[in-house]
Amino acid sequence: MKTEYIVEMTHITKTFPGVRALDDVSFNLKSGEVLALLGENGAGKSTLMKVLSGVYTRDGGEITAFGNKVEKMTPKRAKELGIAIIHQELNLCSHLSVAENIFLGQEIVKGGVVQRKQMNDEARAILKRLSLEIEPETLVGSLSVSKQQMIEIAKALLHKARVLIMDEPTSALTAKEINELFRIIRQLRDEGCGIVYISHRLEELQHIVDRVTIMRDGQYITSMDFKDTTLDTIISYMVGRDIKEKFPRIQMPVGETIFEVRNLNAGRMVRDVSFKARAGEIVGIAGLMGAGRTETTRAIFGADPKESGEILVDGKTVKIHGPHDAIRAGVVLAPEDRKKDGLCTKLSVRDNIALPNLDLLAPGALGVVRSLKEAQMVEAATKDFQIKMPNAEVDAASLSGGNQQKVVVSKWLARNSRVVIFDEPTRGIDVAAKVEIYNIMNRLKKEGIAVIFVSSEMPEILGMSDRIIVMCDGRITGEMDIREATQEKIMHYATQFENKLAQ
Ligand SMILES: Nc1ncnc2c1ncn2[C@@H]1O[C@H](COP(=O)(O)OP(=O)(O)OP(=O)(O)O)[C@@H](O)[C@H]1O
Ligand SMILES: [Mg+2]
């Protein structure tokens, strides 16, 4: 009997120590469709797709692929079947070239010699098929995240993928790059590939998705055709309740200037940056990917060296030569790249939260950690953010992507800072948890702390900021009060130099 599904999963279960990640889950996929797999952080989306691609072995349930039961799914078997997965955290080797990455593990070898030219040529052909202007010899580490994403797709095409799973592919992409990705997804779909698309950016689904499957707490909830439903319906299935206010803005009288950056220069991407943040306001920093926003936050925080410029906290100049100085001066940064800068995945959640706060937890010369205080700090942080985990002793690596992000943000809020800089804090975070993060920004704002908020997502920048600064090509190109801010205005400033170049 021929079924219309190319993949069917039934009664799938998977348990990790202390967590039932998948509880009797069913899932299916047709060829030539884009299926969105949706659910809150920790719902089990990544785990289900890792089971399908053989990364994890299921505890129970059945998988049928292309009409055949697959008893033992392994990465190798999945590859043979044409099931490819692009993980939430990219998995490329940055010190290898594009072609070497595409062919990793299946290099073309003749007579014991790796056929570089042939590999480069074939890689070039695949890149061309995707209309990507990337040279196969380029080192992957020098490419932007978006281009690296495309390389992962190219790699999947080499394996002649008939099922392509993308776990949050757009969380680090700009609007333009997302369009490019969508073009490729549509092309693959039209060629008959079945595509599983995981995302927390619900607004983008309308451009690409045919059908949605929703999970909650490790269980299958429902599936429906996208055209027959609404985002509000989807959200209520995901969260199990309605979310009334997506952007809970609060009004506060604006106070004195708490934080000031004067003529900051640091490399090519931070040129003469000056701005102020006052008590009771959230300053949004908008711009396109690569505008220099992350570089600016890193230079302020002392993570990267400054060439010149002045930083003032409460009207006093502070010398920041490294993160240590910044933290002492009351300036903290929740960074963009959680895997690289934000989180020690091999340490427990508890250590991740406690480590940057050791000065508070272990005051005095002996450096003895006050464990009660530590426990309270960790408890408060995990509660405030509703971090989903069996307990705080588990490795940070075992948390779902969104929950890792919550740890990164939460650890800085355990201390009394004057200035909190958030760089893309809601990346990969589900719709309900985003509201939690906005509420925390509001709480800081109420406490009179300067909140600086870098985001590429126009709705949240417009929804939460009181004042918006726009950057383009390492410079501040515009500044506006929220009352006069529009998407068009922001885009105008964000593309200022690009427009000039194009003319
Ligand atoms: N390797 C692991 N070891 C222990 N627990 C794990 C492991 N992988 C996932 N989990 C747990 O399984 C549950 C489901 O996680 P999963 O990563 O599938 O969620 P998700 O839906 O992808 O969430 P997100 O949107 O945050 O990425 C979580 O509670 C997570 O902590
Ligand atoms: Mg995930």
Shared domain for 212 and 333, answered yes or no, is no
Among 13, 14, 19, which residue has the most ligand 1 atoms within 8 Å of its CB, making it the best to mutate? 19
What residue's CA is closest to ligand 1, atom 28? Answer: 42
Nearest residue to 86 via CA among 222, 188, 218: 188
* Strand spans (E) along 66-148: 68-69, 83-86, 109-110, 113-114
152 plus 191 within the same structural domain: yes
Q: How far does the centroid of ligand 2 lie from the alpha carbon of residue 453, in Å? A: 24
Last residue of a domain, one of 189, 207, 239: 239
CATH number at residue 183: 3.40.50.300
Distance CA 49, CA 56 (A): 9
Domain boundary among 239, 274, 309: 239
- Whole-Å CA distances, 125 to 41, 180, 467: 37, 18, 47
Q: Are residues 231 and 269 in the same domain?
A: no
Give the closest residue to 302 by CA, choosing from 318, 313, 278, 287.
318
Q: What dihedral do alpha carbons 217, 223, 227, 230 form, nearest 10°?
A: -30
What is the Cα–Cα distance from 116 to 206, expressed in whole angstroms? 41
Question: What local confidence, expressed as pLDDT, does residue 310 receive?
Answer: 97
Distance CA 161, CA 31 (A): 11
Residues of the chain with pLDDT under 50: 1-2, 501-503
State whether the beta carbon of 120 lies less than 6 angstroms from ligand 1.
no
Given this model, what pLDDT does residue 364 score? 66
Any domain includes 83 = yes
**For residue 14, how far is its CA from the centre of ligand 1 (angstroms)?**
11
**What pLDDT does 490 receive?**
93
Identify the helix (H) or strand (E) that includes residue 221.
Answer: strand 219-225
**329 shares its domain with 364:** yes
**Alpha-helical segments (H) within 332-388:** 349-354, 358-361, 371-384
Using the 3D structure, point to which of 239, 265, 300 is the last residue of a domain: 239
Q: What is the pLDDT of residue 1?
A: 44
**Domains of the chain: total:** 2
Ligand 1 pocket test, pick from 20, 41, 47, 202 with the greatest ligand atom count within 8 Å of Cβ, gives 47
- 199 in contact with ligand 1, CB cutoff 6 A: no
Which protein residue has the closest C-alpha to ligand 1 atom 1? Answer: 398
Q: Is the same domain home to 217 and 289?
A: no
How confident is the model at residue 409, as a pLDDT? 81
Q: Is residue 167 a contact partner of residue 89, using CB atoms and an 8 Å limit?
A: no
Residue 124 lies in a domain: yes
Residue 501 has a pLDDT of 46
Residue 218 Cα, ligand 1 centroid: separation in angstroms?
9
C-alpha to C-alpha distance for 404 and 388, rounded to whole angstroms? 9
In the prediction, which pLDDT does 338 show? 65
| Residues 262 and 235 occupy one common structural domain | no
Task: Report strand pairing: 219-225 vs 83-86.
Answer: unpaired
Q: What's the confidence (pLDDT) of residue 307?
A: 96
Q: If you take atom 5 of ligand 1, which residue's CA is the nearest one? A: 398
Residue 271 and residue 231 share a domain:
no
39 lines ligand 1 (CB under 6 A): yes
Q: Are residues 232 and 282 in the same domain?
A: no
Distance in angstroms (rounded) separating the CA atoms of residues 102 and 199: 24
57 within domain boundaries: yes
pLDDT of residue 373: 82
**Which ligand neighbours the alpha carbon of 15 most closely?**
1
Same domain, 285 and 222: no
Residue 452 structure tokens: 């600086």
Q: How far is CA 26 from CA 9, 42, 165, 365, 489, in A?
A: 5, 17, 16, 57, 46
* Separation of CA 236 and ligand 2 centre (Å): 19
Q: Is residue 502 part of a domain?
A: no
Query: Do 214 and 287 fall within a single domain?
Result: no
Same domain, 169 and 40: yes
DSSP assignment letter at 62:
E
Looking at the domain assignment, is residue 246 inside a domain?
Answer: no
Q: Does 271 lie in the same domain as 140?
A: no
Q: Is residue 179 one of the residues assigned to a domain?
A: yes
Cβ–ligand 1 contact at 46 (below 6 Å): yes
Looking at residue 457, its amino acid is E
Domain span including residue 111: 5-239
